[in-house]
A and B are shown apart, each in its own frame.
Chain A
Amino acid sequence: ETGVTQTPRHLVMGMTNKKSLKCEQHLGHNAMYWYKQSAKKPLELMFVYSLEERVENNSVPSRFSPECPNSSHLFLHLHTLQPEDSALYLCASSQDPQGNEQFFGPGTRLTVL
């Protein structure tokens, strides 16, 4: 399998649930990203990891918790989300975080009830 993969593709959860989104990149990249895509808004950068270290946290609420166990895998742990958190969550990777092109996964469509 090539590129950037994300699971699950769709997720429906209640506000009290705990769930995790998974991202895997098969490109040998060193940087990985989480974005939130909501209707009629620009893509919002949430987190950046470079060589498994978090280098950017864009004022994201603590109910979103990222984890990067190695350079190929990135998780987003979700806990006590709100309905306004419903969106498409995109994972991306790049060779390094210094201004290079990013390769995106298909996203996880999250609905919070």
Chain B
Amino acid sequence: AQSVSQHNHHVILSEAASLELGCNYSYGGTVNLFWYVQYPGQHLQLLLKYFSGDPLVKGIKGFEAEFIKSKFSFNLRKPSVQWSDTAEYFCAVTSPNTDKLIFGTGTRLQVFP
């Protein structure tokens, strides 16, 4: 069965620090990969997605993620975080021939000014 692992459950950073959140998935076939963000009191929003092509994907608000097929990873990065990035971040994976979007447990990011 497909699964998604997010190794960091809670990350605390100061503003301007660099961010990398880990995401690994277990599925051997073609995958579509997503990062969703949930700001406090708001609904889940898509941050970025990878379907095919360039494995380095740019998303909104300066976020990017790199798909490394050999490592089954899709880590999220941002070079300099802001206080407004405080949120919960979810990695998710699906394959083109299934209707299941499998989520990780989420990483709670707190950024202090």
Contacts and interface: CB of A to CB of B under 8 A. Distances in A.
B99 to A, nearest CB: 3
B91 to A, nearest CB: 10
Interface residues of A, number: 25
The winner among B90, B100, B101 for most chain A CB atoms within 10 A is B101
B22 interface: no
B46 interface: yes
B8 to A, nearest CB: 14
B9 to A, nearest CB: 8
Nearest to A107: B43
B70 interface: no
A106 to B, nearest CB: 4
Contacts of B45: 104
A1 B90 CA distance: 26
- Closest 9 CB pairs between A and B? A97-B99, A104-B44, A43-B103, A106-B43, A99-B96, A99-B94, A42-B103, A99-B32, A42-B105
